[in-house]
Structure formats: structure tokens, C-alpha cells
Structure 1
Amino acid sequence: MSAEDDAGNGRPFRFGVVGESARTMEQLTALAVRAEELGYSTLTLRDHFVTEPFGDQLAPMIALTAAALATRTLRVGTLVLANDHRHPVVLAKEAATLDHVSGGRFELGIGAGWLREEYGRAGIPFDAPGVRVGRLEESLRVLKNLLGGGTATFTGEHYQVRDLTVFPRPAQAPPLLVGAGSRRMLRIAGRHADIAGVLPRALPDGTISAEISERMPDTIARKVAHVREAAHEAGRDGVELSMLVSPTFGPDLRAAAARVAVLRGWGTSSTDLVLEMPSQFVGPPEHIAEQMAARRDRYGFTYYLVSDRDMEAFAPVVGLLAGRPAGRVSRPVPRS
């Protein structure tokens, strides 16, 4: 099954914010309220306890509870939790409680964990990639059972659970997002996730690949195909495709793309490549909206997230596309 065969599956666009600069509850709740006002679907938080490379972080599950209580319709989520930081039974309990408190507005994003330095400084064993990924897949099976309202009994290589249920019962079965960059991870997302967050692949040395090839159209199409094929084999459909993007605004597309190429260390000779990258959006808001509509039709991405630092500048794109089917770009609705 190709990306084009299932591109978007008729799903409307939605947009999220990654809370990267909030350091206090006051900052976070103000960010959540503003994101809701601007029409964003979700506020998400990362899951790190070292400063680099994303800055100091609030504990995501607790902080998201405060964000949910400060808003009415905004969904809250993790982007993404490191599976090795929490046992799935403990995480299921926390996720069910947060979903209950938020009235069914929680989305659980999880990944295998990748930041070697963080593991080392915390004294957590940084196992080989295959071990961490295998542990994640077992965790997903336990989480899906518990959060779906079932009784979990599971015996695996990494987890053993017997006759457990979760309380409180979630207001929904919280959608699962799996952040994935490698073939195996992408196929796990296709088999288990409601949302596949497509990423550059994590490297065995505990970093994320900076290779330009990881961001090119053929590579992204191949990653999407892995998700779709695994979902189809598992008898599933409708997996939502998500991507974290960094928009660059400006009237001159090539000049904006050249700035990206230089900033990322690829050099100005890569300007044309930047213009082709599915994860890069440059130009004025109207052009970016058109790019997103076209790329939804080609790849199937309908859920885009931006850093809170880009939230205000990106809001016109949200106004153009949020909730609208592919190819239909409307003028932004004025906001009071």
C-alpha cells in the first residue's frame, strides 16, 4: 500500500504546539489558554530531565494536568514519553487519571527513548536499540489493554502483568502516538498507534540523525509506506500521520530556504533540497497552507506541530487549514 493509496484518508487538518519555553505553571497555563484561543488542537510536552538539547522541562503528566484544567477544548499530550522512564502499569494509571481529569482530552505519545546522555546521567541502562524497541512494543500492548478498559494479563520478555485493570476508567481510550524514525519503529506505529509521529531515525550512539537524506521526499514516502503497510497487515486503517515542523516565514521562498540550509549546517547549495523537504515549510502563510494541502495529498500528513516559539507566527496557517479537508485553503477567520 503506497502513501498515495491512503493519503490522509479524508482526515481534516489539525495543529499542535510543543511547549518548549514554559518554565513555570503560570507560563504553561498562559500558553495553553493562548493556544486554545488561536485554534490549535493540542498542547504537548516533551519528556526529559536534562537541560540539553531542549531546555529545562516541567514534568509532563503533572504539568499537562494544569494545562487541561486551565482550558476547555484544548487537547493535551506528550511528545513523547520515553518508555524506559515508567513501567507501563504506572503509566496507564497516570494516563487514565489525566484523561479523567481532562474530560477525555489526553493523547499519550510514547517512544523507545533515544538520548544516551540522559540515560547515563540518571543511571538508567541504555540498552541496545533492539532491546529498547522490543520493550516499547510490549509496553504498548499492556497500555492498549489497560486503557481500553480491559483486564491485562501479559507475559513477555520485559514485562509480566497479571489480572490488572486500571482506575479510574478513562473518559476515552486515549489515542496513542508513537514517535518513529526507523523501519521497525514505523511498523510498530502502524500496528499499534492511532497517530504515527514520523521522525528522523535515532542513531545507536544516542543522537538523532542530522542527515539531509532523512528529510528528503523519497525517504519520507518510504517511512509513510512502512506505517501504512504494517497497519494494513494488522487489519487496521486510519492511522493519523503527524510531523513536528519548523516554519520559516518570508516573502522570498529561496531566501527563506537558504536561511534554513545555513542554520542546519547543510550550506546554501542545499537550498533547492530544503524547498522539497516534507518537513520544511517556507514562505508566507498562504503559501505554507498550500504546501501543506499538497503534501497531505501526497503523503497523508494531517497533524502538524510547531514549537511554542512559532505559535503566534504560525497561527494564520492554522486559520487557513484547521478542520478543513485537503486542497481547500480558506482565508483566515479574524480573531478578536
Structure 2
Amino acid sequence: MSDQRPFRFGVVAESVRTAEELTAVATRAEELGYSTLTLRDHFVAEPFGDQLAPMVALTAAACATRTLRLGTLVLANDHRHPVLLAKEAATLDHLSGGRFELGVGAGWLREEYERAGIPFEAAGTRVDRLEESLRILRSLLAGEKTTLAGDHYRVRDLTVFPSPVQTPPPLLVGAGSPRMLRIAGRHADIAGILPRALPGGTISGEMSERTPETIARKVALVRESGRDIELSMLVSPTFGPDPRGCAARVAVLRGWGASSTDLVMDMPSQFIGPPEHIAEQMAARRERYGFTYLLVPDRDMERFAPVIGLLA
């Protein structure tokens, strides 16, 4: 693929709990050459720990940085009406000088819905609602006067203020199931490839969701639209001089067993070994799958930084 996009790298600031930590992680990520600081969207502590409200916290991060882009990874659509979200996204893009990337998903964590008193409807209903929301968001953030009469939202002759600097800001859709992947292909600028969400309200931990064959199928579903979409993934780097030994530890820690070591070494989301080896893996997997926007948890931000230098 000679026309591949260049790499860019992001940090998921999932361990940030205070203003001081947020500012420190944001400024350090900018210094280290990361493209983007992202925040999750949860209001229960499980499974990622307590999280700051993403849109407010990203505004503070924008004020503490100059070039770092800011993103949500990803907002649960059912937590916000798309008109209000479009106004917040436009305002954040305006205040940051055009550095915001809006990541949205259908919502998946049943316990969160139930504890907040939000109905956790069938996946098909949540995905239907997301697709309508994406149409509204894309139209409003592109500066269009928007009308939509759907099954879930009704908007008439509406525009958004202020105008975003980017028209529209890039839209990321987190997707793991076939229907969601096709929706990302139709509506998103960036597809965040995930393991599939399960009907019970969790994310699949199955090894089969992370194999090369499964990831290749997911990429193909996104590509069905024929649109030029950036492919993104949250990755797990494991550093050490012996890639195979590292892979064996990962296999055991994830509950897959040491016999799965070879499978772990081939997983597109697992990058294992010294920085030079990880950089080679990333280049090879960009060629095979097309992933160019890779994100790491903030706990790995410092250790992963040499890889950015190798791939710049």
C-alpha cells in the first residue's frame, strides 16, 4: 500500500483523576510527540476507574497545550442528545483553535445504564439511535441547516453556534460488530476497531475477537463503503528484550494460557518486545491492515515514546 497514511499516536488519559494530573499528562504527551489526548466517557468506576467528564476536561487540556489534538474515546450516544453534543463539540473545536476530534459509540456498559436509570435497550435500538445521531452531528458540525425526522430524534431548521474551526471536526466511531463497522464506514472519518460488545452489556474478552483473521474481516467491513477512512485501535505494548517471553506473560495474564503465546504474538493489538521490534511490527501491520492511528493508555505513555521517534 504505497499510499498509506502516516502514523499518528494518541494517549488515553484513563488514570487521570485531578486537574494537576490532567495538565501534566497533556503537556507531557505534547512534548513526547503524541498527536492526541483522549478521554473515556463513564460515570461508574468499573472497569476503567473513575473518569473526568470528557468535554469539560478536554477544554482544560486545550488551554494547557498548543498543538495537541483532543478527542473522546468514545462518548456513549445515549448519554447526550446530539444537538447538545454538536454545540459542545463546536464550542470545544472553536476554543481549541480546531484541535477537537469527536468520538462516539452506541454505548455498551449495562451496569452503567442501570445504575444511572437509563434504559438499556436492545443493541439494535441503540445502534439505530446512534446512526440517526451521527447524521445530525455530521450535518450540524458541517455548518448546515439541519432537519431530520427519525424514529428517535426530530430536528427542524437547526444550525449550531459557534462555528467550529474544522467544518466538520473529524468524527470517530468506535465499532466492533458488523453493523457498527459498516456504520463507521458510512459516517466516520476515523473507525476505531474494537472487540464486539456482548448483549449482556460487556465487551468480549474472547481471543477470537483479536485474531488477525477477525481484525482483517472488521477492516473489510469498514472499507465496504469505499470511503477513505483512517483506521484506529487502542493497543497494548509490552516491553522487554524477549518478545516470545513477553507474549507468554501476556497470554497467562489475560487468561488465555501459555499455549496461546504464538497467537498473542500475531494479535494486531498486541505489540511486544523492545521499541525497535515494536516499530517494525507496527509498520508491517500498517501494510497488512491499514492501521495508522494507534492509542496507548497513559500508564504506557513514557515507555512507548521511543517508538514514536522510530516511526516519525
Q: Shorter-normalised TM-score: what interval? A: over 0.9
Partner in structure 1 of residue 21 of structure 2: 27
Identity of aligned residues (%): 80
Partner in structure 1 of residue 244 of structure 2: 254
Q: Which runs of 4+ in 1 moved over 6 A?
A: none
- Structure 1 residues 277-308: Cα deviation after superposition (integer angstroms, max 9, x where no partner): 00100000000000000000000000000000
**In structure 1, distance between residues paired with 2:15 and 2:209:** 27
Quick one: which of 247, 257, 265 aligns to 1:267? 257
Secondary structure of the equivalent of 1:10? coil
Quick one: which of 54, 62, 79 aligns to 2:56? 62
Greater relative contact order (Cα < 8 A, sep 6+):
1
Letter in 1 for 2:238: T
Alignment of 1:143-222 (within 5 A): 143-172=137-166, 173-222=168-217
**In structure 2, distance between residues paired with 1:170 and 1:9:** 29
Secondary structure of the equivalent of 2:244? helix
**In structure 2, distance between residues paired with 1:222 and 1:181:** 11
Deviation, structure 1 residue 10: 2.1
Quick one: which of 291, 304, 307 aligns to 2:297? 307
Is residue 4–residue 290 contact of structure 2 (8 Å, CA) maintained in 1?
A: no
Secondary structure of the equivalent of 1:247? strand
Secondary structure of the equivalent of 1:16? strand
Deviation, structure 1 residue 9: 4.3
Alignment of 1:1-336 (within 5 A): 9-172=3-166, 173-229=168-224, 231-232=225-226, 237-322=227-312
Deviation, structure 1 residue 320: 1.1
**In structure 2, distance between residues paired with 1:262 and 1:137:** 38
- Structure 1 residues 37-72: Cα deviation after superposition (integer angstroms, max 9, x where no partner): 000000000000000100001000000000011000
**In structure 2, distance between residues paired with 1:72 and 1:218:** 40
Secondary structure of the equivalent of 1:281? strand
Q: TM-score, normalised by structure 2?
A: 0.99
- Structure 1 residues 168-188: Cα deviation after superposition (integer angstroms, max 9, x where no partner): 000001100000000000000
Pairwise CA RMSD of aligned residues?
A: 0.8
Is residue 8–residue 301 contact of structure 1 (8 Å, CA) maintained in 2?
A: no
Q: How many residues align?
A: 311
Letter in 1 for 2:84: V
Is residue 82–residue 133 contact of structure 2 (8 Å, CA) maintained in 1?
A: yes
Secondary structure of the equivalent of 1:117? helix
Secondary structure of the equivalent of 2:245? helix
Deviation, structure 1 residue 238: 1.7
Secondary structure of the equivalent of 1:241? strand
**In structure 2, distance between residues paired with 1:10 and 1:48:** 34
**In structure 1, distance between residues paired with 2:16 and 2:208:** 32
Letter in 2 for 1:144: R
Letter in 2 for 1:142: I
Structure 1 gaps of 5+ residues are: 1-6, 323-336
Letter in 1 for 2:67: T
